[in-house]
Amino acid sequence: MWVPQYRGGCTHTDVGSPVQRWVPQYRGGCTHTDVGSPVQRWVPHTGVSTPIRMWMPHRALESGGHRVPRSAVELLAPVGDPEKVICVGLNYRDHCVEQDVKVPKEPIIFSKFPSAIIGPFDDIVHPEDSTEVDWEVELAAVMGKKGRHIQEASAMEHVVGFMVANDVSARDWQKRNGRQWLLSKTFDTFCPLGPALVTKEAVTDVHNLRISCSVNGRVMQDSSTEQLIFRLPSLIAWVSRFVTLVPGDILLTGTPSGVGVFRKPPVFLKRGDEVRCEIEELGVICNKVV
């Protein structure tokens, strides 16, 4: 199931407005849903005892009563205000090879602030004080169940779905003052997400998806999630040793080879460039640099 978010010229919706902002709740065996609660707070999850269901918006989609072109609406990030955005560095084997570094023995964890999040077709703002802005297509997992000290065997039970992400990075800031990873990764607009939240049941094999990024039509990254060093169960188990994961938390799982900084010569984004990130079965996000 795809759960996009939008706002724009639509004057009527069948199930909520916007339909994907809300997760209807069932109480006391009632078959009628109330308005619901924000998806950022309550995320559906199969098998959880909490009486929550995702209202499949088939009626709205099938009715076709009101349609608008995509140009008339603004698609929002599927999860716009998470408690945490957790990121993983050096997590693709081919990315380690292009840097000529050893494969990490344990996950390298950093973060982005939620204020960096933008929608799948929003503009990336090039900072005035950076000349080395780079792209990183990534698989993003969204947590749907709270947990601490999660075991690998049950880790995927805590995931509700997946998105495409671009871990935009200012490499000059990343190398500055003892390697400022947080600052380099968390400029405003440096975390495009989308185009939708694809529930895990709709994905054939999340560890065998083609993942790619192009800049102005030129393919820069082209790999597979098979290249992941630490797969989702081990990442979730590792991170939950230190912090409690809650519904809506986003986990960016790393980027494959082909980033600009390791090209010869290096290539960086400039204003006017268009960055297209795609993951098989999850869709495409496309952002212009301004």
Q: Calculate ∠ Cα 284-239-285, nearest 5°.
A: 10
Residues 152 and 196 in one domain: yes
The answer to pTM > 0.85 is no
**Partner residues linked to 17 by β-bridges:** none
Q: Where are the beta strands (DSSP E) in 15-95?
A: 22-23, 37-38, 73-76, 85-89
Residues 103 and 23 in one domain: no
Q: Domain of 280?
A: 85-288
Phi first, then psi, for residue 260 (nearest 5°) are -70, -35
Domain stop point among 24, 43, 76: 76
Would you state the pLDDT for residue 68? 79
Would you state the pLDDT for residue 7? 53
Would you state the pLDDT for residue 177? 77
Residues 230 and 110 in one domain: yes
Would you state the pLDDT for residue 69? 83
- Number of compact structural domains in the chain: 2
Looking up residue 125, the CATH number of its domain turns out to be 3.90.850.10
Tokens of 133: 């802005």
Residues 130 and 24 in one domain: no
Residues 264 and 225 in one domain: yes
Q: 181 CB contacts (<8 Å, ≥6 apart)? A: 89, 110, 174
Tokens of 154: 């049950």
Give CA–CA dist 177/170, Å, rounded. Answer: 14
Strand (E) or helix (H) holding 173: helix 171-174
Residues 159 and 112 in one domain: yes
Which of 266, 270, 246 lies closest to 85 in space, CA to CA? 246
Residues 9 and 33 in one domain: yes
| Tens digit of pLDDT at every position of the chain (290 positions) | 555 555 554 333 333 333 333 333 333 333 333 333 344 334 444 444 333 334 445 555 566 667 778 788 889 999 989 999 999 999 999 999 999 999 999 999 999 999 999 999 999 999 999 999 999 999 999 999 999 999 999 999 999 999 999 999 999 999 987 777 899 999 999 999 999 999 999 999 999 999 999 999 999 999 999 999 999 999 999 999 999 999 999 999 999 999 999 999 999 999 999 999 999 999 999 999 99
Cα torsion angle, 265, 268, 272, 277, sign: positive
Residues 15 and 109 in one domain: no
Would you state the pLDDT for residue 24? 35
Domain stop point among 54, 76, 98: 76
Give CA–CA dist 150/153, Å, rounded. Answer: 9
Would you state the pLDDT for residue 59? 56
Name the 3-class secondary structure at 260: helix
Name the 3-class secondary structure at 224: strand
